[in-house]
C-alpha cells in the first residue's frame, strides 16, 4: 500500500494536462446531451465530468439523478463500454483496385491516435482483457485492434456506487480493479487515491502534485469498495454451477424468454465482451475500386447463422440460448473463463427488460420465475 | 504461411475453368505473386477464402494443390458463388488461406480408409483420396461412398471408375431420387451403401462430408455398427466470414468451426448436432 498517493480534487486538472502533454487525446465519461445517459466521449477538462451525477438503472431503464455531490465518479457505469475505442463498430479492412484486368489489394494501415480513457470501470477492464484474448492472443492477430491497443492509456476509477443491475462482485471482476490499468483512482470525498499500474502510468503520475496517502484515506477507499460490493443485489451463479446450463439446452424456459425477446441485439451492442462482426464490400460507383469493411454484428440477427439455403438459429429462442450459453458456458473452453464481467448493460438496455442474471438463475433452478414479466414501467415516465 | 494481416487476400488468376454441371464449376488458380505460389501449402481438408472483386468472400475447400496451382470446385448457390460462375479464364480473384483443421491422414496409416460423402461433399475429400491412392501401400482397404440426388448431378464418374479398379478398393455410388438403377449405382440414400461396404470396423478411419443431417445419421449408424466414435471424422459447414476465429459466425457450442474445425471427430460434435438450432 506504500505506493498509494493522494491527489486533491482541486488538482484534478493537472491529471488532464499531464495526459495531454504526453500526447494523448482524452476520452472520459460525460453526459450525452439530450440523451440522459453517460457515455465515453472526448472531454476537454474537469468541467465535462459528470460531477454530482448518479445513474439509476433497472431492467430496461437508465436515468441520471442529480445528487449535488462534489464527486465526479459516483455513478456505476456508462451506456456504452470502452469497447468501441479498441474494437471499432465499423472499420475499413482493406481496399482493392481493378486495373487492366488485375486486382490489387491494399491494406489499410492506419496510425492509431494515442488515446487515454479516464474513468474506466473494473468490469470494462476485465472485458478488455477478454477482448485482448480474442483479438490478440489466438493464432491470428487482428492488426486494427492491435494498433489501438498499443497506444492506449487506461485510467481506471474504482466504483463506489453499484447500480441495481450490477453484479461484478459475483463474477469476481469488481467493484475494485485488480489489474490491467495504467493508473487507478479511488475517489474520496475531498480527492483521489492514486496507484500506478504500469510504466506508462508512472510517467503521467510523475507530473502530478501528489501527496502521501494517509491510513485513514486508504481505509475510506477500502470501505467504499466493500460497501459497493455489498450493495449489489444480483449475483451470477459460480462458473462451476453455470456448466450445468449444458444439460438445459432444451429447457422450456428458453421459450418463455423468447416470448419477450425481440432479437433486437441491444444486449450484444452494449456488451463489453461481444466480438461478432460481419464483413461486406463497398464498391465505388465508377467500378474502379472497392473497399472491404466490417461492422459489429449480433447473434440475434437472422443472417448471423446463415449458410446456403438455411438459417441455423431461426428464432429468438435459439438466438437467446446461443448468446447466453456462449457467455456463461461455452466461453470457458474458448478463453478460460466466462464471457461476462458483470456490467449489467444487457439487462439495462433490453427494451423488453429481460433480466440476464435472473434468467440464468431461473434456468438453473436457483430462482423462481417472476410472475409478471412485463417491461419495467417508470412512474416518472408515465407522467411525462 | 501466415501474413501480417490475416484479412488481406492475395491475387490469383483463373488459369483454367471447367463447367462440371449446370451449376458446378471448377477453377484452376495460380497466385500472381510467385513467392506466394511457392510458399503456399495446404493440408488435406483445409479451406480457402475466395474473394470476388466488389462482391465478397466465400469459404471453399481446397480440392487439390497441384504444383503451384490450386483447384477449387464451387457450386453456384449464393450471392458470391453465382457471380463467380460468370468469371472467365484470365480473370483475377483474391485468395486467403489455407484455414482450419485437416483430415487425419497420418493417424490413418495402416488402417482401412472409409470416405462417406454426399453431393459436393466429394470435393473436400478428393485430395485425400488421391493421397491414399498415391500411397496405397501405407493404408488398408479403401472404401469410397458417394451419394447424389440424381446420377446426372454426380461429378467425376470416370475418376470413380478408375478408383474402383484399384486393388482392395470399393467404390459405392448411389442416387437418392433416380428411378432407374444404373450399373455400379444404387438407389437410395448413403445408408443403403453401408451394408455393402467392407472394412475393419475396429481398425478404420472414416472421413465424411455432406449435409449435417446425413453426417449425423451416418455417424450414429456407424457407431451402432461398432465403429469407435473417435475413428469418425466429419467436415462441417457454417457461416464463415473471417476464417480466423474472430467474426463469431461459425460457432457451434464451444467450437469455432473455422479454426477448431471444419473437421471434427464425431464425439466432439455428436451432442451439439443433436440440439436443433444450436
pLDDT score, position A381: 44
Q: At a CB cut-off of 8 Å and minimum separation 6, what does A289 contact?
A: A95, A96, A97, A98, A283
Residue B35 counted as domain residue? yes
Residue B2 counted as domain residue? no
Q: How many Cβ atoms are within 10 Å of B229's Cβ, its own excluded? A: 15
Q: What is the pLDDT of residues B145-168, one digit of tens each?
A: 999 999 998 899 999 999 999 999
Across the interface, of A102, A281, A330, the residue whose CB is closest to B92 is: A102
pLDDT score, position A2: 45
C-alpha distances out from residue A82 to A92, A94, A128, A141, A144, Å: 20, 25, 8, 20, 16
If asked whether residues B124 and B77 sit together in one domain, one would say no
pLDDT score, position A102: 96
Residue finishing a domain among B99, B129, B152: B99
With CA atoms as reference, the chain A residue closest to B14 would be: A102
Residue finishing a domain among B99, B122, B144: B99
In terms of Cα–Cα distance, which of A90, A157, A160, A154 is closest to A128?
Answer: A154
Q: What is the pLDDT of residues A128-182, one digit of tens each?
A: 999 999 999 999 999 999 999 999 999 999 999 999 999 999 999 999 999 999 9
Residue B64 has pLDDT above 90, yes or no: no
Helix (H, G, I), strand (E, B) or coil at A5: strand
If asked whether residues B128 and B264 sit together in one domain, one would say yes
Whether B184 and chain A come into contact, CB under 8 Å, resolves to: no
Its sign, for the CA torsion B8, B14, B19, B20, is: negative
Residue finishing a domain among B65, B99, B133: B99
Q: Note down the domain range covering B246.
A: 112-274
pLDDT score, position A36: 78
Residue B64 counted as domain residue? yes
B90 contact residues in A (CB cutoff 8 A): 101
CB contact under 8 A, A277 and B242: yes
CB contact under 8 A, A307 and B8: no
CB contact under 8 A, A330 and B278: no
Q: At a CB cut-off of 8 Å and minimum separation 6, what does B121 contact?
A: B208, B209, B210, B211, B235
If asked whether residues B46 and B73 sit together in one domain, one would say yes
- CA angle centred on B211, ends B210 and B213, rounded to 5°: 125
Mean pLDDT of chain B: 95
In terms of Cα–Cα distance, which of B219, B261, B221 is closest to B99?
Answer: B261
- Report yes or no: B120 and B149 within 8 Å, Cβ to Cβ: no
Across the interface, of B32, B237, B254, the residue whose CB is closest to A334 is: B254
pLDDT score, position A378: 53
B95 contact residues in A (CB cutoff 8 A): none
pLDDT score, position A1: 39
In terms of Cα–Cα distance, which of A384, A357, A359 is closest to A373?
Answer: A359
Distance CA A76, CA A121 (A): 8
Classify burial at A112, counting beta carbons within 10 Å of its beta carbon; exposed 0-12, middle 13-18, buried 19 or more.
Answer: middle
Q: Which residues pair with B69 in a beta bridge?
A: B30, B66
Q: Cα distance from A308 to chain B (closest Cα, Å)?
A: 6
Q: Which residues pair with A152 in a beta bridge?
A: A115
User: Quick one: average pLDDT of B5-30?
Assistant: 96
| All three cell numbers of A180 | 490491467
If asked whether residues B122 and B207 sit together in one domain, one would say yes
What is the domain-level CATH number for residue B46? 2.40.30.10
pLDDT score, position B4: 80
If asked whether residues B94 and B211 sit together in one domain, one would say no
If asked whether residues B77 and B176 sit together in one domain, one would say no
pLDDT score, position A375: 53
If asked whether residues B177 and B155 sit together in one domain, one would say yes
If asked whether residues B118 and B244 sit together in one domain, one would say yes
Residue B88 counted as domain residue? yes
- Report yes or no: A331 and A339 within 8 Å, Cβ to Cβ: yes
In terms of Cα–Cα distance, which of A324, A301, A318, A316 is closest to A258?
Answer: A316
- Report yes or no: B112 and B273 within 8 Å, Cβ to Cβ: no
A132 contact residues in B (CB cutoff 8 A): none
Biggest CA pair distance of chain A: 75
CB contact under 8 A, A138 and B245: yes
Number of Cβ pairs closer than 8 Å across A and B? 123
User: Into how many domains does chain B fold?
Assistant: 2
Low-confidence ranges of chain A (pLDDT < 70): 1-2, 372-384
Across the interface, of A249, A275, A303, the residue whose CB is closest to B246 is: A275
User: Quick one: average pLDDT of B54-74?
Assistant: 93
A142 contact residues in B (CB cutoff 8 A): 6, 246
ipTM here:
0.93
Q: Cα distance from A186 to chain B (closest Cα, Å)?
A: 35
Across the interface, of B6, B10, B239, the residue whose CB is closest to A305 is: B239
CB contact under 8 A, A249 and B275: yes
A304 contact residues in B (CB cutoff 8 A): 239, 248-249
If asked whether residues B93 and B122 sit together in one domain, one would say no
What is the domain-level CATH number for residue B189? 3.40.50.80
Q: At a CB cut-off of 8 Å and minimum separation 6, what does A347 contact?
A: A59, A60, A165, A267, A353, A354, A355, A356, A357
- Report yes or no: B138 and B108 within 8 Å, Cβ to Cβ: no
Amino acid at each position: 500500500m506504500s505506493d498509494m498517493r493522494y491527489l486533491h480534487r482541486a488538482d484534478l486538472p493537472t491529471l488532464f494536462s499531464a495526459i495531454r502533454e504526453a500526447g494523448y487525446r482524452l476520452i472520459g465519461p460525460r453526459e450525452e446531451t439530450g440523451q440522459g445517459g453517460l457515455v465515453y466521449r472526448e472531454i476537454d477538462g474537469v468541467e465535462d465530468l459528470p460531477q454530482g451525477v448518479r445513474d439509476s438503472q433497472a431492467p430496461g431503464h437508465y436515468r441520471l439523478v442529480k445528487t449535488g455531490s462534489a464527486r465526479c465518479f459516483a455513478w456505476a457505469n456508462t451506456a456504452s463500454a470502452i469497447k468501441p475505442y479498441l474494437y471499432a463498430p465499423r472499420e475499413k479492412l482493406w481496399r482493392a483496385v481493378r486495373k487492366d484486368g488485375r486486382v490489387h489489394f491494399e491494406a489499410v494501415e492506419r496510425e492509431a491516435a494515442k488515446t487515454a480513457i479516464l474513468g474506466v470501470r473494473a468490469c470494462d477492464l476485465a472485458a478488455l482483457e477478454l477482448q485482448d484474448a480474442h483479438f490478440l492472443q489466438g493464432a491470428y492477430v487482428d492488426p486494427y485492434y492491435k494498433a489501438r491497443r498499443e497506444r492506449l492509456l487506461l485510467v481506471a476509477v474504482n466504483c463506489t456506487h453499484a447500480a441495481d443491475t450490477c453484479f461484478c462482485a459475483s463474477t469476481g471482476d469488481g467493484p475494485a480493479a485488480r489489474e490491467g490499468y495504467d493508473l487507478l483512482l479511488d475517489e474520496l470525498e475531498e480527492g483521489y487515491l492514486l496507484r500506478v499500474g504500469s510504466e506508462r502510468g508512472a510517467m503521467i503520475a510523475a507530473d502530478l502534485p501528489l501527496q502521501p496517502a494517509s491510513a485513514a484515506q486508504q481505509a475510506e477507499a477500502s470501505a467504499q469498495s466493500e460497501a459497493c460490493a455489498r450493495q449489489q443485489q444480483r449475483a451470477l451463479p459460480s462458473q462451476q454451477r453455470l456448466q450445468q446450463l449444458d444439460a438445459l439446452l432444451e429447457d422450456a424456459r428458453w421459450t418463455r424468454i423468447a416470448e419477450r425477446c425481440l432479437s433486437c441485439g441491444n444486449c450484444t451492442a452494449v456488451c463489453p465482451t461481444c466480438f461478432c462482426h460481419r464483413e461486406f464490400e463497398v464498391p465505388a460507383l465508377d467500378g474502379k475500386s472497392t473497399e472491404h469493411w466490417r461492422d459489429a454484428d449480433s447473434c440475434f440477427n437472422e443472417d448471423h447463422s446463415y449458410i446456403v439455403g438455411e438459417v441455423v438459429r431461426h428464432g429468438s429462442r435459439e438466438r437467446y440460448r446461443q448468446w447466453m450459453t456462449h457467455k456463461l458456458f461455452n466461453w470457458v473452453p474458448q478463453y478460460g473463463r466466462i464471457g461476462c464481467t458483470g456490467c449489467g448493460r444487457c439487462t439495462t438496455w433490453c427494451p423488453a427488460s429481460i433480466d440476464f442474471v435472473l434468467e440464468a438463475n431461473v434456468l438453473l433452478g436457483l430462482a423462481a420465475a417472476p410472475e409478471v414479466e412485463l417491461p419495467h414501467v417508470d412512474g416518472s415516465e408515465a407522467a411525462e | 504461411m501466415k501474413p501480417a494481416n490475416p484479412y488481406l487476400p492475395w491475387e490469383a488468376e483463373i488459369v483454367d475453368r471447367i463447367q462440371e454441371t449446370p451449376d458446378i464449376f471448377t477453377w484452376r488458380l495460380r497466385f500472381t505473386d510467385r513467392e506466394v505460389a511457392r510458399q503456399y501449402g495446404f493440408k488435406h481438408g483445409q479451406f480457402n477464402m475466395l474473394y470476388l472483386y466488389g462482391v465478397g468472400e466465400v469459404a471453399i475447400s481446397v480440392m487439390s494443390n497441384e504444383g503451384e496451382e490450386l483447384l477449387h470446385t464451387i457450386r453456384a448457390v449464393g450471392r458470391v458463388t453465382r457471380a463467380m460462375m460468370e468469371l472467365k479464364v484470365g480473370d483475377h480473384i483474391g485468395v486467403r488461406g489455407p484455414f482450419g483443421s485437416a483430415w487425419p491422414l497420418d493417424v490413418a496409416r495402416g488402417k482401412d480408409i472409409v470416405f462417406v460423402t454426399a453431393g459436393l461433399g466429394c470435393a473436400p475429400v478428393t485430395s485425400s483420396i488421391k493421397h491414399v491412392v498415391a500411397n496405397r501401400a501405407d493404408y488398408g482397404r479403401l472404401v469410397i461412398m458417394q451419394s447424389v440426388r440424381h446420377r446426372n448431378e454426380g461429378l467425376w464418374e470416370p475418376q470413380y471408375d478408375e478408383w474402383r479398379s484399384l486393388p482392395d478398393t470399393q467404390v459405392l455410388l448411389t442416387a437418392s431420387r433416380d428411378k432407374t438403377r444404373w450399373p455400379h449405382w444404387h438407389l437410395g440414400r448413403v445408408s443403403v451403401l453401408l451394408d455393402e461396404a467392407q472394412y475393419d470396423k475396429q481398425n478404420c478411419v472414416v472421413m465424411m462430408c455432406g449435409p449435417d443431417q446425413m453426417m449425423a445419421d451416418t455417424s450414429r449408424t456407424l457407431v451402432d455398427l461398432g465403429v469407435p466414435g473417435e475413428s469418425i471424422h466429419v467436415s462441417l459447414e457454417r457461416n464463415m466470414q473471417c476464417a480466423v476465429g474472430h467474426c463469431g459466425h461459425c460457432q457451434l457450442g464451444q467450437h469455432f468451426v473455422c479454426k477448431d474445425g471444419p473437421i471434427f471427430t464425431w464425439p466432439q460434435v455428436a451432442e451439439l448436432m443433436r440440439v436443433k438450432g444450436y
